[in-house]
Amino acid sequence: MPDGSAGSFKKLYSVLNPGDGAPDAIGGLNEQLTEAVVEADDALMEKYLEGESISEDVFQSTFSQAMVKRVLFPVLPIAAEAEIGTVEALDFLVSFAPAPNALPRKAIKGDEEVLLEPESGFVGFVYRTVADEFVTRISYIRIFSGRLSANSSFVNQRMGKPERIGNILKICGKEQEPIDEGVCGDIIAVAKVEDILAGDCLTDGKTTIRLPEIDFPTPMVSLAVKPKSRGDEQKISTALKELVSDDRTFSVYNDPQTGDLVVSGMSDLHLSLILKKLKRRRKVEVDTFPPKIPYKETITKSVKYIEYTHKKQTGGAGQYAKVVIDLEPTERGQGYEWEDKIFGGVIDQSLRPSVDKGVQNKMAEGVIAGYPVVDVKVRLVDGKTHPVDSKDIAFQIAGREVFKKAFMQCSPVLLEPIVKIEVVVPQANMGDIMGTLNSRRGKILTSGSEGSSALIQALVPLAEIQNYQADLKSMTGGEGAYTMEFDHYDVVPSNIQKAIEAEYEKEQAEK
């Protein structure tokens, strides 16, 4: 255990072998650990309760059994930079860790579950990938069966295609030693195979056995990032792609609606470490800010026969276009509809698509708050042309302006993304969590208990839970967890819509 003031890490005392000079509390912890170990063996527990002493060999083997049975999960504190606890951790692994074959590894053959045997054919597991400044990329592989030779190939089960490799490396710290082959039980590395990701299962071409796929958790915490220095856009794109390959719980995407470059991870700390790695590896620093919420705009009622006339005289050729439209809402999620209801030649056939193009350009820009317009039907019902001044650009402008005019008369509203969130917390925190979800405009769907944990499902606006990870950690002392997924879009309350519109108008005025 750490010794000294809170936050310091000066010395370790072993709970296994307290020794002289250990604090009194260590003795009590040693008794608790012993009781937890003997519970893994009924006969040994009976002897222990009868007061018999337990030999060191028996305790050690039972400890290993307890880990195999997953009734005991050791925690080994280490301060690597200060070199505190490193030797003790290695000694523990040598003395107490179960043998590699103590726990049979399950695999899949066809649709059946089987046990993986040492000679089942080559099956390897990629447990880490990392970009290296000298050889571009290194993938670390644990071989669970069979063997892999240098200058051969394997099949990446995730990709379903063969990959060619050159040298096989034996890694010892920073040292890399080429070897002819790796065999069952070895940890090896291969270089310059770009498509390998952590968690991949590799087999040879003849092996029909594969490891079960890992279900990686979905990243829940997101930040928008942009490089601090101009010209680093290409560099940051390459560097983030490398980091995604190294960490399957980290993701990057460009939001097509907001234009933000968004990075997502498991926690604030996770993203902080990722961005520090970005700076260390590629010398790229970024500014971070909350991602923009992808609101959308729509209407709630219909209008008919809204007209707009565009005239422009510049001394030379002018511009003229008159258009008349009807505008109405469609079903949520139905999208945009265009209908040409003009009969006769009041607008030339060749110019009518220009009105449609102008409408769609304005829809993409937004009208009330700068967000794209969705779920509307535009009907072109009338108009007028000029024999000389009517042209494509004039009818595009008229289409934009008549749509804007009609849109403002249709009681426009903002739509916001609603996510379905599932929160798992200790029972004691259930009431507080439900209260905070309600305060974030959430709607509780279900709540219940499972053992000592409470499970709550709710629908919550995305805008209300951007900082939820930090708040949940604070409320539960780090014991809470949550997942979320997009569910639907819903109308933004009028008071919040007014605030969003005011902010947009302020931004436009500053431009």
Cα–Cα distance measured from residue 403 to residue 476, given in angstroms and rounded to the nearest whole number: 50
What is the number of alpha carbons within 13 Å of residue 191 lying toward its C-beta?
15
Nearest alpha-carbon partner for 465 in 417, 398, 498: 417
Q: Domain 106-210: which topology?
A: Elongation Factor Tu (Ef-tu); domain 3 (2.40.30)
Tokens standing for residue 414: 């903002």
467: exposed, middle or buried (Cβ count in 10 Å: 0-12, 13-18, 19+) = exposed
Position 437 scores a pLDDT of 96
Tokens standing for residue 482: 């949550």
Give one word for 127, left, alpha or beta, with left for phi > 0 and alpha for psi -120 to 50: alpha
189-224 CB burial, b ≥16 within 10 A, e <16:
bbbebeebbbbbbbbbeebebbbeeeeeeebbbbbb
The set of residues, in sequence order, having a beta carbon less than 8 Å from that of 401 and lying 6+ positions away, is: 308, 310, 358, 362
Nearest alpha-carbon partner for 286 in 304, 307, 311, 261: 261
The H or E element containing residue 108 is: strand 106-109
Architecture of the 415-495 domain: 2-Layer Sandwich (3.30)
Q: Domain 298-411: which topology?
A: Ribosomal Protein S5; domain 2 (3.30.230)
Nearest alpha-carbon partner for 18 in 7, 6, 30: 30
The set of residues, in sequence order, having a beta carbon less than 8 Å from that of 392 and lying 6+ positions away, is: 351, 354
Count CB-CB contacts under 10 A for residue 393: 13
The set of residues, in sequence order, having a beta carbon less than 8 Å from that of 198 and lying 6+ positions away, is: 126, 127, 128, 129, 245, 246, 247, 248
Tokens standing for residue 5: 């003031």
Cα–Cα distance measured from residue 300 to residue 409, given in angstroms and rounded to the nearest whole number: 10
Amino acid code (one letter) for 385: T
Amino acid code (one letter) for 384: K
Query: Do 106-210 and 221-289 share a fold?
Result: no
In the chain, what percentage of residues exceed pLDDT 90? 50
Q: β-pairing, 376-384 with 336-340?
A: parallel
DSSP 82: T
Cα–Cα distance measured from residue 321 to residue 389, given in angstroms and rounded to the nearest whole number: 8
Tell whether domain 221-289 is in CATH 3.30.70.870. yes
Give one word for 382, left, alpha or beta, with left for phi > 0 and alpha for psi -120 to 50: beta
Cα–Cα distance measured from residue 126 to residue 287, given in angstroms and rounded to the nearest whole number: 33
Helices 86-96 and 56-68: crossing angle, nearest 10°? 90
Computed over its alpha carbons, how large is the radius of gyration of the chain? Answer: 32
Position 3 scores a pLDDT of 46
Tokens standing for residue 90: 């290695």
Could you list the pLDDT tens digit for every one of the 511 residues in the chain? 444 443 467 778 888 877 767 777 777 888 888 888 888 888 888 888 888 888 888 888 888 888 888 888 888 888 888 888 888 899 998 888 887 777 778 888 888 888 888 777 899 999 998 876 665 788 999 999 889 999 999 999 988 888 899 999 998 877 889 999 999 888 999 988 878 888 999 998 888 888 988 888 889 899 999 999 887 888 888 888 888 888 999 999 998 888 899 999 998 889 999 999 888 888 889 999 999 999 999 999 999 999 999 998 776 678 999 999 999 999 999 999 999 999 888 999 999 999 999 999 999 999 999 999 999 999 999 999 988 888 999 999 999 999 999 999 999 999 999 999 999 999 999 999 999 999 999 999 999 988 889 999 999 999 999 889 889 999 999 899 999 999 999 999 999 999 999 999 998 998 7
Q: Are 182 and 169 in contact (CB under 8 A)?
A: no
Q: Under DSSP, is residue 378 helix (H, G, I), strand (E, B) or coil?
A: strand
The set of residues, in sequence order, having a beta carbon less than 8 Å from that of 123 and lying 6+ positions away, is: 107, 116, 143, 144, 145, 146, 201, 202, 203, 207, 209, 210, 211
**φ, ψ of residue 490 in degrees (nearest 5):** -140, 165
Nearest alpha-carbon partner for 370 in 404, 336, 331, 337: 404
Handedness of CA 32, 36, 39, 44 (dihedral sign): negative
Give one word for 290, left, alpha or beta, with left for phi > 0 and alpha for psi -120 to 50: beta
What's 7-52 look like in SS3? CCCCCCCCCCCCCCCCCHHHHHHHHHHHHHHHCCCHHHHHHHHCCC
Position 83 scores a pLDDT of 84
Nearest alpha-carbon partner for 88 in 11, 26, 172: 11
Position 315 scores a pLDDT of 65
Q: Where are the domains of the chain?
A: 24-96, 106-210, 221-289, 298-411, 415-495
Position 134 scores a pLDDT of 61
